Structure 1
Amino acid sequence: MATSFDLSSNFNIELLDKIVNTFYGGSGKLQQDAQVALTTFQNDPNSWMKVDQILQFSKNDNTRFIALSILDKLIKTRWKSLPVEQRVGIRNFIVGMIISLVQEGAKSGLKIDSQLVRKCDITLVEILKQDWPDNWPDFIPEVINSSMTDPTICSNNLIILKILYEEIFDFSSDRMTQAKVVKMKKSMSQVCLQIYLHIVDILKLNNTSSVLEISALECLLGYSEWIPPDYIFQTNVLQLLSSIYIKKQETRNITLKCLTTITGVAVPSNPQNITEMVESFIYVLKNLTANSPSATSGLKLTYASSNFTKQQFFQDLATYLTRFLKIYRDKLEVDNAELRSVLLTSHEYLVQLSRIDETEIFKTCIDYWHELTSALFVEIQQYPIADILPSFELSFEMRGSGAMNPQILKQIPLKKHIYEHICSELRHIIITEKMVRPEEIIVVKDVDSGEVVREVVHDSEMSDLYYSQKETLVYLTNLDFDDTERIILEELDRQLDLLSTYTKGEEENQNGWAWDNLNCLCWSIGSIPSTISEESENIFIKNILDKLTRIQDDHISNPNDRALFDSNVMYIVGQYPRFLKNHWQFLLQIMNKLFQCMHDNNEGIKDMACDTFERVVSRCKYQFVINRPDDTESNVPMINNIVNNMGQITSDLSPSQLTSFYKSCATVIREQRDFNLRNELLMDLMKLPNSGWRSILNIQLQVDTDDKFKTLVKLLDINIGVCGSIGRYYAIQLQQIHTDLVGLYGVASECIAEESKIVGIQTNDTVRIRICRAIKRKILNLFRLFISDLNFTDFDKWFEPLLKQFLVVSLNDYKVEPPNLKEAELLVYANTITMKCGQRLPENVVLILENVFFPTLNVIKNDMNNYPDHRLYFYQLLRIINYKNFEVIIDIPQDNFFSMFFDTICWAFKHHNREIEETGLQIAIDMLTNIDNLTDNNTDFQIKFYQKYYLLLVNETFFALTDSDHEPAFAKQALLLRSLMKLAYDNRIPTTLIDSGSNAPDNYSNTVTLNEYITKLLTGAFPNLTVDQVEGFINALMKNYNNAASFTSTVKDFLIQSKEIGADPTDYLYDEDAH
C-alpha cells in the first residue's frame, strides 16, 4: 500500500480511507506502514488545505476525525497567520457542516450527540477562542437566532455554548493567555443575560423533546455558576425547576444538579429572594414525596433495586439537600410549623440516605452531619448558660472536662432540641451500621477463606471517612452522652443475645448477628474518648469492658473469632489513656493481656498487641516510670518489671515486632528524668541485645558469616528502634558498641569486596552482598538518628569521641566503593552531619564534599534514570551545603570545582524527576542569594560568577521553562528566572555582564545586555516569534518582576504564545503600556 501522499489536485480520498481502515483494523507491517503514512500526512504543514475535501467526500468517520484534528492543530498554532478570507471560509465551512450533520441525523433518527458532531462542535469552539469577540462579535446573537429554526439545531447550539463556557471558565488557565481569558470572561459577562434568557425561554416551551430539555438544563448548569444572582430571581427559573422538571424522570437528575449549583452561587440578601429559595426547596420536597419514596421509607432497599440513573438521583438528592441546608438551615429553624416540618422532613431524607450502602452518598451525608453537629456543639459552648442558670455555674465551668449533663441542656433554649430525634437516629446509624475500620485495626476476616489475616495497607479515602465519622460522633456524644451510652449498651446487649444463638451452631448472619456489627460497635466506642467527665468515663468503660469480657468468656472459642475480638478490645483500651492512668490495676491487667497476645499464633494479633502497647505507653509514659505504693506485688516502676522480663515477654515475637517492642520501652525510659536511673534502665533494656552482639563479634566473623550477619541485622534494627525513641540519651549505649560498629562497617565492606572478586564487580545481588550492604545501611541509619536528635552543644560534645571516626571511615569507604555498591544512605547521613555542623565546623563539610561530590557525580552522570536514590539524596545534600556553608563551596581548592558544581545544578533542571528538578532549581535560587550577600572578601568571586555564569544560568532557566516535559516544575522555574532578572534590574550586579556573542560596547547597562541576550535567545529558539512579541514579553517582565504572581502569569502567557504563529505581541495582562 502507499505510504505517502501527493497533496496536489489529484489528492486521493479513497486511498486515505483505506489507510485509515488499515491503521484501525489491520495488524503487523501493514498497520505500521499506515501509521507512518498518517503521521507524515498530519505533520505536513499544508495538510489542512485538504480538510474540506476529506470532510465532504470521506466515507469514514475515523478519517473525518483525523481531518478535524489537523484543523484543530492549525487553529491552535497558526490561525492568526492565515488571511482573514481563509479564516472566515474555514469558519463558515465548519458551521455549515455542523448544521448539515445535525439535520441529517434528525432526519435519519440518529442521536444528535454523535461523536462526529461533538468533534465539529469542539473545532468551532477552538475557532471562537481565537476570533470571539473581536473578529466574530455577533456569534451569540447568531446562535440564538439560528436556534429558533430547528429544535435539533437549538439543542446542538446549547451544547456549543456549554463547551464554550467550559473552555473559558474551567480549562482556560493553561490554554489561553491571562489577557485573553480576562477579555473573554468580560465579553461573556456582557452576553450572559442573553444566553440565560435564551435557556429560560426554551425551558418555558411546552411539548419539547427530552433531548432539548436536557441540553438546556446542562447549559444552564454551566452558566448558572457565572450568572449574576439577580438574573435568577428576575425570572421564574426556580419555579420551573422545582415544579416542572423535578417531576420528569428524564430531567430530574440534571434538575437537581442545577438547583444545587444555583443554591451555592445565588445566595441572596434580599428577604423576598430568600423566600423564593425556600419556597423552591419546599416544592422540591413536595414533589419528592409525591414521586419518590417518602422520608420515612426504606431508601436503602429502593436504592439497591434501582438502575444506575435512579441511583444517581439519590446521589444528586443528597448533594442538593446538604448544599441547601448548609446555607439556609437557619431560615427553616424559625418558629413556624410549616417550615419546621420541612426542616425535619429534609433531615429525615438525609437520615435515610445515610443508610444506603454507597460510600459516595454516605460521604456527602457525613460531611453535612459533621457541619450540623459541629454548629450545635459550638452553640452550647458559646451560650451564656451560667447567666441563665446560676445554680449550675460550677457545671458550666467544668464543661471542658466532657459532655454536659443532658438534663441541664434541656432547660436551655438551644437549637439542638429541634434535632433530638434526628441526632439519635444518626448516632444509631454510625454506631451500629456505618463506622468504618480505623487504621489501628490491622486484622480482618478474609472474605474467601474466612481466616483472620493482616491487612496493613489502608485505603486513604476510608481513613478520611473514618475521621469524619469519628469527629461527628464526638460532637453527637457531647450533645447527649446519655443517648450515646444508651445506644451502645443496648447494642452490646443485643449482640450478646444474638451471639448466644450464633455460637450454638448457626451460621453468621442467619439470626441477624454478624461480626461486622460488633466490629462497627467497638470501633465507635473507641472513637469517643475524652468526650465526657472522668467519672462518667470510668463508669462507662468499666461497663463496656464487663460486657465485652462476658462475650469473650462465654461465646468466643474459635481462634479466628478470638483474634477479631481481641483486636477490638485492644483498639478500645488503646483509645482511653485517661481511664488507664486512673486505674493502675486495670492498666496492669491490660499489659498482661497484651503480653499474652504477643504469644498468639496469629501474626496480626501480635502486631496489634505491639502497636497497642506502643500507643498506651506513648500516652501513659509517666505511669510506667513511677513507683506505685498501692501495688502489692512490686514496689518498682512497671517499666522495670517489663525490662526484667524481656526474654519471656518477647520470646514469640518476630524481628519487626521485637523492634517495635524495644522502641516502645525506650519511649518510656526517655520519660525518666533521673540521669542515672535512665541510664541504668537503658542498659538493662539492652542487656539481651548486647549479650547477643558480643557473642557474635567475639567469634571470627568469617565462619558462618551470613547467619551471623543476619543476626547482627536484627540486633541493629533493635538499636535503631531504641535510638529513634530515646534520641540523644542513646549515647551511653553507643559508647558500648561504638568501636564495634566502626569495625563492623569495615568488615562488611571487606566481605563485599571479597564477594565481588568471586562473582564479578558488576554483580551485587548475592545473599552475602545484600546482607553486608544491609548492615552498612543500618549502621549509617543508626548514627544518623542519634545525630538528628542532638542539639549543637551535644553534637560538639560527642563529635570527637563518638562520631568523627565513623564519619572518616564511612566517607573513605564511599569514595573507593564501585559505583554499583555505593550506599545512598551515606548521603542522607552526610546531610544530617552538615545540618549539625552549620558554619561552626566547616572542615567537616569540606571533608564530606571531597569524598562525596565527584564519586557521586561519576555514578549518576551517564544518564538521568539509574541510581534514583543516589541522585535525589545527592542533590538534597548539595542544597543543604549550598544553604548553610556556601563559602565552603567557593573555597574548595580543587581546580574547576565551582564550575562542576554549577554544571551539576543546571543538569538537575533537565531531570524528569520533579523532586530532583525542583531541588536543583532551589539550589540555584539559594546560590544567587548567597552570591548577592557575599562580603567584601569575596568580591572577586562575585565578579567572576556574574561574568562567566550569570547568562549561562539565564539560558539554562529558559531551556527548562520552554520544555513542555518540565512543565510540572514551572512555578520554581519562574521563581528562578525572577531572581535572575531582579539582580540585573535592581543593579545588584557589581560588574558588566559579558555576552560572548554580542558586539555591544563594554559600557552597556546590564539591563540592556540581559534584554538583548533574552531577545536573541528566544527568537533563535522560536522562529514563529517576532522580535516585537519577545520585546513585549520582556517589557512585561520588567514591569512585574517585583510582583511574584504577576511575573509568573506573564511567563505563563509567553509559554502559551510561543506555541502559536502570529500571536498578538501585546497579549500580556500585566503590561499596561501594551494596551
Structure 2
Amino acid sequence: MIGAQNDSTIQENLIERFMSLPNQTWDAIIAEASNNLTVLHDIVRIKQIVGILKTNIRACKAIGSGFLIQLGRIYLDMINVYKCMSGYITQALHDKPPTMVRDPVIRGMLSVKKESLRLISEFVTRSNDAETIKNQLLGPLLEAVLVDYANGIAASREPEVLSTMAIIITKLESLVEDHVGAIFLQTFECTLDMINKNFEDWPEHRVNFYQMIQAVVKHSFNALLKLTSEQFKLVLDAIIWAFKHTMRNVADIGLEILYHLLESMSRESSAAAVFFKEYYTSVIEHLFSVVTDSTHTGALSMHANILAFMFCVVEKGQLTVTLNESAPDNVTYVKEYVGTLLRNAFPHLTLQQVQVFVTGLFSLDEDNAQFREHLRDFLVQIREYAGEDESDLYLEERQQALKQAEGEKAALRKAVPGILNPHADFEKAVAIDEDMS
C-alpha cells in the first residue's frame, strides 16, 4: 500500500508512521552509544540492531525507491555503528585464532555488518535515482567498508561487501568510474589471495568477487582502461582463473566476463591493439587447455562463442596490430600457433587431422552453431582415443531438452483448472525470502 502511493508527501508520512516503533528503539540505542560505545558490545543490543535492520530490509523491498526517506534517517548512524563494530572485531581478532569469530558477540557484530550491507544493496537495487546514490550514500559507504575489508582477517571479511560493490557498479555505471580503482585496490588482491589456493575455499566470496568484476566489465568498462598494465594483468589472470574452476557457477561467470571483455575491448581501437598484441595467444592457450580438459563439463557453447570471436577478429582483419613480426600475416601466424599447440598437447593426432580442425576454426567462425559442432567433433575425437566418456559434451542440449519438457508439462497442468494451487508461487516466494533472511 505504501509503495503504491503516488503522492510523495503522503508516502513519506506513511513510511514514518510505519517505521515509528523500530525507529524509537534505534534512536534509544544510538543515544546510549553516543555516551558509551560499550553499549554496542552488549549482545542484547546487538540482537536488537540486527532485528531493526532486518525490519528495514523487509520494508525497503516492499516500498522501493521511496524508502530513501527512511534510509536517510538512519544511514549515517548505521555507517558509524558499522565502523565501531569493525574496529572492535579487528582489535578482538588481533593475534587471535580465526576460530574467535565464533564468539557470540563477534558473530552478532558480523551479522550487523552483513544486514547493513544487505539494506544498502536492497535500496540501490530498487532505486531509480543514481545521482542521489552517488552523492549521498557512496562516499560514507566506501570510507567505512573498503579499508575495513582490506585490513581484516579472511574470516572477518563479509562477502556482502563484494556483492554490494557489484550492485552499486551495476546501478551507477559510468558515475562510479572514478571509484572503481579504489574499490579494486582495497578488495581485489586480498580476496584473490583467499581464493587462489584452490577451487573450493570461500565459495561465497569467490562468486561475489567475480560478480563484482563482471559488473565492472559490463557497466563501467572505461574504468578498466584506466588501470595500470600490472593491475589489468591481475584482473585478466583472475578471469582466467575463474573459467578454470570446476564449479560450474564460477566457471560460467568467468567465461561470460571474458566474452564481454573481448567484445568491449575490440571496440576500443587503441586499447585493443595493445591488449591483443599482449594477450591474444595466452587467452587462446588457456581456452583450449580448459575446453579439452575432460574434468570441465558443460559450457561448450560459451567456449565455442569465445573461440569463434577470437578467430573472427583475426580473419576479418579487425586487429590493427601484427601479432608476430616474423609471420606474413596474423591469420597464418594464428593457424601455425594453434596447430603447434594442439600437436604438442595431443601427439596422437596426425598433422592432417590438426590442419583440418584449424582450417575449420576459421571457416566456421561466423556461424556459432556450426563452430560449436566442429569443436565438439574434435573433442569427441580426442576423448575416444583416451577412452574417456564424451557424453558430457552433449550436456547443454540435454539440459535444454529437459527444461523445455518441464515447461511444457507445467503449461499443460496450468491449463487444467484445480490441479495447481493458485497461491503456490506466492508461498514459494515468501519461503525463499525467509530462507535468504
TM > 0.5: yes
Distance 1:775 1:908 in 2: 30
Distance 2:358 2:120 in 1: 51
The one of 97, 116, 120 aligned to 1:783: 120
Kindly provide the CA deviation profile for residues 628-663 of structure 1, in whole angstroms up to 9, marking residues without a partner as x. Answer: xxxxxxxxxxxxxxxxxxxxxxxxxxxxxxxxxxxx
Distance 1:799 1:899 in 2: 29
> Which consecutive residues of structure 1, in runs of 5 or more, have no partner in the other structure?
1-667, 995-1000, 1063-1075
8 Å contact from structure 1 (residues 871, 916) kept in 2:
yes
Distance 1:1029 1:875 in 2: 37
Distance 1:902 1:844 in 2: 19
Distance 2:43 2:261 in 1: 47
Change in Cα spacing, 1:865 to 1:692, as seen in structure 2 (3 Å) is same
The one of 315, 319, 342 aligned to 1:985: 315
Distance 1:759 1:825 in 2: 24
Cα displacement (A) at 1:677 = 1.6
Distance 2:5 2:219 in 1: 35
Counterpart position of 1:702: 38
Q: Residue 100 of structure 2 aligns to a residue in which SS?
A: coil
8 Å contact from structure 2 (residues 134, 172) kept in 1:
no
Aligned pairs (5 A) from 1:52-451: none
Counterpart amino acid of 2:88? C
Counterpart amino acid of 1:672? Q
Change in Cα spacing, 1:681 to 1:1022, as seen in structure 2 (3 Å) is same
Find out whether 1:837 has 2:172 as its counterpart: yes
Change in Cα spacing, 1:869 to 1:698, as seen in structure 2 (3 Å) is same
Counterpart position of 1:1033: 357
Cα displacement (A) at 1:676 = 1.6
Find out whether 1:866 has 2:201 as its counterpart: yes
Counterpart position of 1:1005: 329
Counterpart position of 2:52: 715
The one of 1015, 1019, 1031 aligned to 2:343: 1019
8 Å contact from structure 2 (residues 243, 251) kept in 1:
yes
Counterpart position of 1:909: 243
Kindly provide the CA deviation profile for residues 56-95 of structure 1, in whole angstroms up to 9, marking residues without a partner as x. Answer: xxxxxxxxxxxxxxxxxxxxxxxxxxxxxxxxxxxxxxxx
Find out whether 1:767 has 2:101 as its counterpart: no
Counterpart position of 1:921: 255
Change in Cα spacing, 1:758 to 1:1045, as seen in structure 2 (3 Å) is closer
Counterpart amino acid of 2:226? D
Counterpart position of 2:218: 883
Counterpart amino acid of 1:929? E
Kindly provide the CA deviation profile for residues 711-750 of structure 1, in whole angstroms up to 9, marking residues without a partner as x. Answer: 1111111011011111111111112111210111012212
Kindly provide the CA deviation profile for residues 389-439 of structure 1, in whole angstroms up to 9, marking residues without a partner as x. Answer: xxxxxxxxxxxxxxxxxxxxxxxxxxxxxxxxxxxxxxxxxxxxxxxxxxx
Cα displacement (A) at 1:1003 = 4.5
Kindly provide the CA deviation profile for residues 997-1034 of structure 1, in whole angstroms up to 9, marking residues without a partner as x. Answer: xxxx6252111111111111111111211111111111
Counterpart amino acid of 1:787? V
8 Å contact from structure 1 (residues 837, 845) kept in 2:
no
Counterpart amino acid of 1:1017? L
Change in Cα spacing, 1:898 to 1:737, as seen in structure 2 (3 Å) is same
Change in Cα spacing, 1:1038 to 1:827, as seen in structure 2 (3 Å) is same
Q: Which has the larger radius of gyration?
A: 1
Kindly provide the CA deviation profile for residues 419-472 of structure 1, in whole angstroms up to 9, marking residues without a partner as x. Answer: xxxxxxxxxxxxxxxxxxxxxxxxxxxxxxxxxxxxxxxxxxxxxxxxxxxxxx
Counterpart position of 1:898: 232
Distance 1:891 1:674 in 2: 43
Q: Residue 951 of structure 1 aligns to a residue in which SS?
A: helix
Counterpart amino acid of 1:803? L
Counterpart position of 2:26: 693
Cα displacement (A) at 1:763 = 3.2
Cα displacement (A) at 1:761 = 4.4
Counterpart amino acid of 1:783? I
8 Å contact from structure 1 (residues 811, 852) kept in 2:
yes
Find out whether 1:801 has 2:136 as its counterpart: yes
Higher relative contact order (CA 8 A, sep 6+): 2
Distance 1:942 1:694 in 2: 54
Counterpart amino acid of 1:954? I
Cα displacement (A) at 1:985 = 1.3
Counterpart position of 2:414: none
Structure (1/2) with the larger helix percentage = 2
The one of 305, 328, 340 aligned to 1:975: 305
Change in Cα spacing, 1:925 to 1:758, as seen in structure 2 (3 Å) is closer
8 Å contact from structure 1 (residues 755, 768) kept in 2:
no
8 Å contact from structure 2 (residues 224, 232) kept in 1:
yes
Distance 2:296 2:201 in 1: 19
Cα displacement (A) at 1:973 = 1.2
Cα displacement (A) at 1:805 = 0.9
8 Å contact from structure 2 (residues 134, 175) kept in 1:
no
8 Å contact from structure 1 (residues 911, 917) kept in 2:
yes
8 Å contact from structure 1 (residues 764, 770) kept in 2:
yes
Kindly provide the CA deviation profile for residues 129-152 of structure 1, in whole angstroms up to 9, marking residues without a partner as x. Answer: xxxxxxxxxxxxxxxxxxxxxxxx
Distance 1:776 1:749 in 2: 8
8 Å contact from structure 1 (residues 992, 1002) kept in 2:
no
The one of 159, 165, 183 aligned to 1:824: 159
8 Å contact from structure 2 (residues 134, 176) kept in 1:
no
The one of 946, 963, 966 aligned to 2:293: 963
Change in Cα spacing, 1:758 to 1:714, as seen in structure 2 (3 Å) is farther
Aligned pairs (5 A) from 1:486-885: 668-699=1-32, 700-703=36-39, 705-757=42-94, 759-761=96-98, 763-791=100-128, 794-885=129-220
Counterpart amino acid of 2:305? L
Change in Cα spacing, 1:898 to 1:757, as seen in structure 2 (3 Å) is closer
Distance 1:840 1:741 in 2: 24
Cα displacement (A) at 1:801 = 2.7
Question: TM-score scaled to structure 1, two decimals?
Answer: 0.35
Question: TM-score scaled to structure 2, two decimals?
Answer: 0.84
Distance 1:824 1:1004 in 2: 49
8 Å contact from structure 1 (residues 788, 832) kept in 2:
yes
Distance 2:327 2:378 in 1: 30
8 Å contact from structure 2 (residues 327, 333) kept in 1:
no
Cα displacement (A) at 1:1060 = 4.1
Distance 1:916 1:761 in 2: 26
Cα displacement (A) at 1:1061 = 4.7
Distance 2:175 2:74 in 1: 28
Q: Let me know the Cα RMSD of the aligned residues.
A: 1.9
8 Å contact from structure 1 (residues 960, 973) kept in 2:
no
Change in Cα spacing, 1:719 to 1:971, as seen in structure 2 (3 Å) is same
Counterpart amino acid of 1:817? G
8 Å contact from structure 1 (residues 837, 844) kept in 2:
no
Find out whether 1:945 has 2:279 as its counterpart: no
Counterpart amino acid of 2:157? K
Cα displacement (A) at 1:840 = 3.1
Percent pairwise identity: 28
Distance 1:888 1:859 in 2: 24
Counterpart position of 1:509: none
Distance 1:702 1:934 in 2: 54
Cα displacement (A) at 1:963 = 0.4
Counterpart amino acid of 1:1027? L
Number of residue pairs matched by the alignment: 383
